[in-house]
A and B are shown apart, each in its own frame.
Chain A
Amino acid sequence: MKTIVVKCLTLFCALLFAHSILAMPTGGDQSTKSYSARGVVEKIAPDLRQVTIHHQAIPGYMMEMTMDFNVKNTNELSGISPKDEITFTLVVGENDEWVESIRRVGHSAGTMTNKMSMPMEMSHGMMMAELKPGDLLPDYALMAEDGQQIHFSDFRGKALAFTFFFTRCPLPDYCPRMNNNFEQTRKILSTDTNAPTNWQFLSISFDPEFDTPDVLLNYADVYRGDNTNRWLFAAASTNVLADVALRLDLMVMRQGDNISHNLRTVVLDPQGRIYKQFDSNQWTPQQLADAIMQAAHLSSQ
């Protein structure tokens, strides 16, 4: 009897403990972050509290664009005038962001501004990054199911089909359908004796905190079964995802444990260039198999 009681109590304690872990905020670091950047001054506000900078890409944070930045210390802008090339530090706090450590490094004759000037500003700078067929996908690093870091370039020489998902995805016609389609497509390619053999599948989670290698492996089992040939599961870090999302028009919106997202499935050719993109969930395994076969043949060229 005693043992049952003890077991009961232990169970509840365990539950309590488990929940306290699950309920812990996952917001992460809330302190300020600083980014070094470079750009050309376009405009300075009369009160010296704002500066418009056409800046180069700020890795891990923002694509190249023209943007208004707040300046906390107005002395920072003394001696700086429009068209000056500057280096600066972008500080991103919890509720605001500003630039500091502004240093003039040269004067632009407007070349950078002219070259990049587009009939759009601000958010639209981000869309300049969207990739089209024939464009090379940057060589991102991912965390694979075995805990090892992999790169897209590891699959050079093969047609690579990749899609995005997260293991807690509750909608059957979203992530599960993508991975089911991958399994169907893999069957088509494996059984077709005329099909090339230089192809690979890659399912990428956009939930790296939850989708650890162990979680990925368990999830992969459901779709891959015992046959792990030519199909790898991995997770993308938030930094990588921020860039990938812009380039592939992938929409990801985290809401607590759930993620609202659209679907992007991409076939790269053996040189790592975009061959074909499948949007949404209406494509068939046969269509994907056809694209992979066509892309795989491009290796000889």
Chain B
Amino acid sequence: MMSSKAGSKRRKQRDDERLFAIVAVIGSLVFGAGFCFLLFVMNKRENNPTDETGYAVANSESRLIPPDHPRQLVNFTLTDRTGRTVTRSDLAGKILVVDFLFTSCSLTCPAVNGQMAQIQQLTTNRADVKLVSLTVDPRDDTPAVLEKYGERFGADTNRWLFLTGEKTMLYDLIGKSFLTQDLNDPFSYMPGNFSHTERIAIVDWHGNLSGYFDGLNQNTATAVVNEIKKMGNQNL
């Protein structure tokens, strides 16, 4: 009698333990799944350090960011990926869509150039619009290397120029006509300490910098094209 009572008590205890275990396992699974989801979301946000708000916001409306001060396209002599010499006067009277890259840049650059490829596609009927990609690593980014890189994005050799040349010339052009140098952390930004190298810049017919769009925003291609339309279709 005693032993059976003790046995049932032990059984009840075992049942309680089992119940607790099941609840605990389910609980921790739910907790774990939620936690993993949180981790996933957080990682997604962390992977986009150039945009603190994360990819989710990078899908928001893309707006024109005005230049910090008036900037003009300065004179330059550079080489495109076909080996042609390209100077400022070759691009005079065109609307320019400009981005910044180095071919060993593996995160932001492909995303920005993806937008550039879309812009190229959306402006095929605009002979007055040219796309220009400027490298900050000319020692590595020779015309041959840029040729391969351009092919990756289906770049048209006549409409989308990848320019390389003397580093001083390139940095002079980028620093004077487009981007500000941020010396706070030399490794947060693209070499040359240029800040906001993820931006796509627009230069009007007169060689003035109109402003920038966030090259990591998925709506930038459309926004750039709209901006170009706003500038009108100048009859040359």
Q: Please give the residue numbers on chain A whose beta carbons come within 8 Å of chain B beta carbons, in ascending order.
A: 1-2, 4-5, 8-9, 12, 15-16, 19, 23, 61-62, 92, 94, 97, 120, 122-124, 126-127, 171, 174, 206, 238, 241-242, 245, 249, 251-263, 279-280
A171–B18 touching, CB < 8 Å: no
B106–A123 touching, CB < 8 Å: no
> Which residues of A are found within 8 Å of B107, using beta-carbon distances?
255, 258, 260
Residue of B nearest to A243 (CB): B186
Task: Flag B189-224 by CB within 8 Å of A: 1 or 0 each.
Answer: 111110000000000000000000000000000000
A4→B17 CA distance, assembly (Å): 11
A62→B183 CA distance, assembly (Å): 8
Within the complex, the shortest CB–CB distance from B197 to chain A, in Å, comes to 8
A249→B49 CA distance, assembly (Å): 24
B21–A2 touching, CB < 8 Å: yes
Does B181 belong to the interface (CB within 8 Å)? yes
Pick 14 A–B contacts, CB within 8 A, sort by A.
Answer: A2-B17, A4-B25, A8-B25, A12-B35, A94-B184, A122-B175, A124-B171, A238-B185, A251-B136, A256-B49, A258-B107, A259-B187, A260-B107, A262-B137
A279–B172 touching, CB < 8 Å: no
Majority secondary structure, A binding face:
mixed
> Which residues of A are found within 8 Å of B28, using beta-carbon distances?
8-9, 12
A257→B175 CA distance, assembly (Å): 28
* Extra pairs beyond A2-B17, A255-B107 (20, CB < 8 Å): A1-B17, A1-B18, A2-B21, A4-B21, A5-B21, A5-B25, A15-B35, A62-B183, A92-B184, A122-B181, A124-B168, A241-B186, A251-B104, A251-B136, A253-B105, A253-B187, A253-B190, A255-B50, A256-B46, A256-B49
Contact residue among A9, A253, A261 (Cβ-Cβ distance under 8 Å from B24): A9
Within the complex, the shortest CB–CB distance from B169 to chain A, in Å, comes to 9
Question: By the criterion of a CB under 8 Å from any partner CB, how many residues of chain B are at the interface?
Answer: 45
The 8 closest A-B pairs by CB, nearest first: A251-B191, A260-B105, A5-B24, A256-B49, A123-B171, A1-B21, A262-B104, A242-B186
Most buried by A among B48, B102, B167, B184: B184
Within the complex, the shortest CB–CB distance from B200 to chain A, in Å, comes to 18
Does B76 belong to the interface (CB within 8 Å)? no
A279–B140 touching, CB < 8 Å: yes
> Which residues of B are found within 8 Å of A174, using beta-carbon distances?
104
> Which residues of A are found within 8 Å of B168, using beta-carbon distances?
120, 124, 127
B187–A254 touching, CB < 8 Å: yes
